[in-house]
Structure 1
Amino acid sequence: MKITDVRVIVTCPGRNYVAVKILTDEPGLYGVGDATLNGRELAVAAALQEHLAPLLIGRDPDQIEDIWQMLFRGTYWRGGPVLMTALAGIDIALWDIKGKRAGLPVYSLLGGKTRDGAWAYTHCGGHTNEELEDSVRAAMAKGFQHIRVQCPVPGATSTYGMGGAAEAASASWLGKGSGDGGPMPHVEGNWEPASYLRVVPKMFAYLRDKLGDELNLLHDVHERLNPVQAARLAKELEPYHLFFLEDALRPEHKESFRLVRNASTTPLAMGELFHTKYECLPLFTEQLIDFIRCDIGHIGGITEAKKIAILAEPYQIQTAWHGPGDISPATHCANVHVDVSIPNFGVQEMVYFPEIVHEVFPGAPECRDGKLWPSEAPGLGCDINEEAAKKYPYQRNYLPVCRRADGSVHDW
């Protein structure tokens, strides 16, 4: 069996996605992967089309590990978000082919099920604590036992996460038109850490008072705090028993997690902006986090995700793979196949995709009873409708930018 073609499909069914479709010389046998990097989609598409796809023609798609090593190490200028996202698109598509050829779902090739379904968490937000409570109760009514909660920051012009599940799934909060032929970044202005640090503990105090202690509550800092601020927040949130506090620090300063860990027993999650297992290692070996939150679509795919999970296991660190709306259903399928096949799974972020996305990418994981369930079809279970994809051409867009009250740029 040989690879005969690699199609890179850029489409925008509500937001931009980059799909990789790898065809083989066996009639009807192909794989679908996801290589979406939000805000830099065309950079990944160019890397695939101009540099990586030519290396695949004529290769045996069964040799996933060898292809992975060649594409990662053979570039010499290895790693980074663009190349690792491109590699992920290829890797996910190759695993899809392997499963289809074997006539088995991918989880079976990864060792088989360790659980029936993967506990999932959804997103809730609101302009007031009362509105947030209503959103959480609605999620609980759908069966969710794990819920991420976000609240507005006083004085800020807008706040990440406040839109809850709708915001996580759509691109409605991204930049609007600028008159130059394309949208410019949305600016979240007047964001101040002091205001944020005052309001978040109050949000959790309110929710625990209204909802009790059994519900698993999560919160995303989104890398906005310095080490002392993060340590203070983790300490002040201890009485509310979070399931985890997510991305409290920037990814560049892993050693700063020592300060946060020493200050509090609040469980910590990190890794959304990591790109390789090597970035995870210091946090694992010193047991500075409790959940690893890499994005399978940005770390080189299933091959690297499986290795990261294996490295985390002896340190009692669980997985919580990134699962927002800005990666396509193909990566969400990959998430769940890994989730149900590893022993140290923790929880899986999920979104409800709009119907327009399902039209282009049929086969997203099913969510019911607060869990995600993998497809039992051979492969990953996700496909791409190329004719539907053509109806939604690429539209330039960017992730938002955050600015402090003095106008300076802050981490979004």
Structure 2
Amino acid sequence: MKITALDTYIIEPRWLFLAIRTDDGITGWGEPIVEGKAATVAAAVEELSPLLIGQDPSPVEDHWQTLTKGGFYRGGPVLSSAVAGIDQALWDIKGKALGLPIHELLGGPVRDRMRVYSWIGGDDPRDLADHALQRREQGFTAIKMNGAGRMRALESRAEIKALVARVAAVRDAVGDDFDIAIDFHGRFSPAVARVACRALEDLHPLFVEEPVVPELSADLTKITESTTIPIATGERLYSRWDFRDVLPTGIAVAQPDLSHAGGISEVRRIAAAAESYGVALAPHCPLGPIAFAASLQIDFASPNAIIQETSLGIHYNAGSDLLDYLVDPAVFDFANSAVARPTGPGLGIEVDEDVVRAAAERGHQWHNPIWRHADGSLAEW
């Protein structure tokens, strides 16, 4: 079997799909994307394609090594995301060729079901509470919410109280047997992150995610030592080397993204490294069905995986949602806030290529907003 083509599709709401085709008729699917840089990552995939066309797709690890280390300049979000999507697609081909789900090729499943959580959005505490109750009625037992909007390097008491009020409204609505994760989105300074975490402790969040931007990872130890809340991070770390200095800081949860951190091959290694530090795994995935399927394959093969993000109904999904590009959406049945172990070959999903092609004719030009403080200076989004 030989690789014949790598085809990319920019599709709504903000995704990029990749089909790797073979002369044997097997097509593998991947999701290489940097949100807001879809065309850039598509160009990176095209630049890497001569290393793959005409080659046997089966030596996935050798392809990974060549794609990541064959060039003098390495790493970073664009290249790592391009490799991630290629790696997903190569594993999909391998699983389909052997008639096995990918997790079987990674040593076999370690669980029968994987717990998942969904998103709620909004700034008004009442709206957040109502949205959380909707998620509970849908069967979810955990949600994630943004903590705050624009945050200054030093914040007012009023802003911290508003943060606590938003989370408290959700906690009051759903009760104590429901988990609430809070995404700080890298918007907080280390000083404000410490203040905010202490203020939230009585509400017992499942975790606080990305309290500071990855450039300030050296401050994570101060944050983890200042609070009883578990700290999660990793969506903007792209390799095991990026995680090397973060895992010993006392974080509780590692969140590599299957579409950013080198794909299935690299996240498998990150998961094992995290386990050696007693750090749980919760792959970051506010993306599409291919990235979600890849995340699940890792989850079912990783003993330290605890919960999986899903983008179903997330506020980014304008125009299309998680299940819209699948032939059989029932493969992701979120009954009781969990997904059953996928048993289909490869990624365990069937992408509806006709729908993908039609969506690619529309494309998208999604970019994250640019935020500014009241004084006109740039704010972290």
TM-score of the superposed pair, with normalisation by structure 2? 0.91
SS in structure 2 at match of 1:122: strand
CA distance 1:44–1:126, change in 2 (3 Å): closer
1:293 corresponds to which letter in structure 2? Q
8 Å CA contact 1:192–1:405 kept in 2: the answer is: no
Which among 301, 304, 310 is matched to residue 350 of structure 1? Answer: 310
Residue deviations 1:341-390 (CA, integer Å, cap 9, x gap)? 11001211112267955454445633221012343111112344443333
Q: 1:366 aligns with which of 324, 330, 333?
A: 333
Mapped pair 1:137 → 2:104: no
Partner of 2:244: 281
Q: Which amino acid aligns with 1:82?
A: V
The CA deviation string for residues 87-119 of structure 1, in whole angstroms up to 9 with x for no partner, is 011100010011111111111111211111211
Report the residue type matching 1:399 in the other structure: N
CA distance in structure 2 between the partners assigned to 1:224 and 1:193 by the alignment: 12
Query: How many Å separate the matches in 2 of 1:76 and 1:366?
Result: 44
> Within 2, Cα distance between the matches of 1:209 and 1:386?
44
Residue equivalent to 2:288: 328
Shift of 1:75: 1.4
- Is the contact made by 2:146 and 2:184 (CA closer than 8 Å) also made in structure 1? no
Checking the alignment, whether the CA contact within 8 Å between 1:320 and 1:346 is kept in structure 2 is yes
Partners in 1 of 2:198 and 2:77 — Cα distance?
Answer: 32
Deviates more, 1:393-402 or 1:225-234: 393-402
Tell me, yes or no, if the aligned pair for 2:139 and 2:334 is still in contact at 8 Å: no
Consecutive unaligned residues in structure 1, runs of 5 or more = 154-158, 160-187
How far 1:273 moved relative to its partner? 1.0
Letter in 1 for 2:94: K
Q: How far 1:395 sits from its partner (Å)?
A: 2.8
Distance 1:142 1:389, change over 3 A: closer
Which residue of 254, 258, 270 corresponds with 1:292?
Answer: 254
Residues 84, 260 of structure 2: 8 Å contact kept: yes
Does the 8 Å CA contact 1:290/1:318 hold for their aligned counterparts? yes
Partner residue, 1:8: 8
Stretch moving more, 277-286 or 243-252: 277-286
- Residue 401 of structure 1 is matched in structure 2 by 370
| Aligned AA (1:21) | A
CA contact (8 A) 1:189 1:405 kept: no
* Unaligned stretches of 5+ residues in structure 2: none
1:329–1:363 CA contact under 8 A, matched in 2 = no
Matching residue of 2:43: 46
Distance (Å, rounded) in 2 between the aligned partners of 1:107 and 1:366: 18
SS in 2 for 1:237: helix
- Contact 1:402/1:410 (8 A) holds in 2: yes
Q: 2:191 maps to which residue?
A: 228
Q: Distance in 2 between matches of 1:349 and 1:377?
A: 21
* Deviation at residue 190 of structure 1 after TM alignment: 9.9
| Structure 1 residues 304-348: Cα deviation after superposition (integer angstroms, max 9, x where no partner) | 010000000021111111111xx3211110001111111001211
Aligned to 2:113: 117
Q: 1:147-194 CA distances to partner (integer Å, 9 max, x unpaired)?
A: 11346x6xxxxx5xxxxxxxxxxxxxxxxxxxxxxxxxxxx7999943
Runs of 4+ in 1 over 6 A off after TM superposition: 188-192
- Structure 2 match to 1:337: 297
Closer, same or farther in 2 for the Cα pair 1:129/1:396, shift >3 Å? Answer: closer
Task: Give secondary structure in 1 for the equivalent of 2:215.
Answer: coil
TM superposition shift of 1:281: 1.3
Whole-Å separation in 2 of the counterparts to 1:252 and 1:318: 22
Find the counterpart in structure 2 of residue 389 from structure 1: 356
Which residue of structure 2 lines up, in the alignment, with residue 35 of structure 1?
Answer: 32
> Separation in 2 of the partners of 1:332 and 1:271?
16
Q: Deviations over 1:26-60 (max 9, x none)?
A: 2x2121111122111111111111x2111101222
State the partner residue of 1:81: 77
| Aligned position for 1:175 | none
Provide the rounded CA distance (Å) in 2 between the counterparts of 1:397 and 1:210. 34
Report the AA paired with residue 340 of structure 2: W
- 1:135 to 1:359, Cα distance in 2 relative to 1, 3 A: closer
Q: Which residue number corresponds to residue 60 of structure 2?
A: 64
8 Å contact kept, 1:363–1:381: no
- Structure-1 separation of matches of 2:178 and 2:153: 29
CA distance in 1, matches of 2:126, 2:366: 33
User: What CA distance in whole angstroms lies between the structure 2 residues aligned with 1:217 and 1:58?
Assistant: 48
Higher alpha-carbon deviation: 369-378 or 64-73 = 369-378
Offset at residue 129 of structure 1 (A): 2.1
- Over 3 Å counting, the alpha-carbon distance change for 1:140 and 1:129 in structure 2 is same
Aligned to 1:252: 215
- 1:313 maps onto 2:309 in alignment: no
Q: CA deviation at 1:206?
A: 3.6
| Structure 2 residue aligned with 1:377 | 344
Percent sequence identity over aligned pairs: 33
CA separation of 1:356 and 1:230: change in aligned 2, threshold 3 A: closer
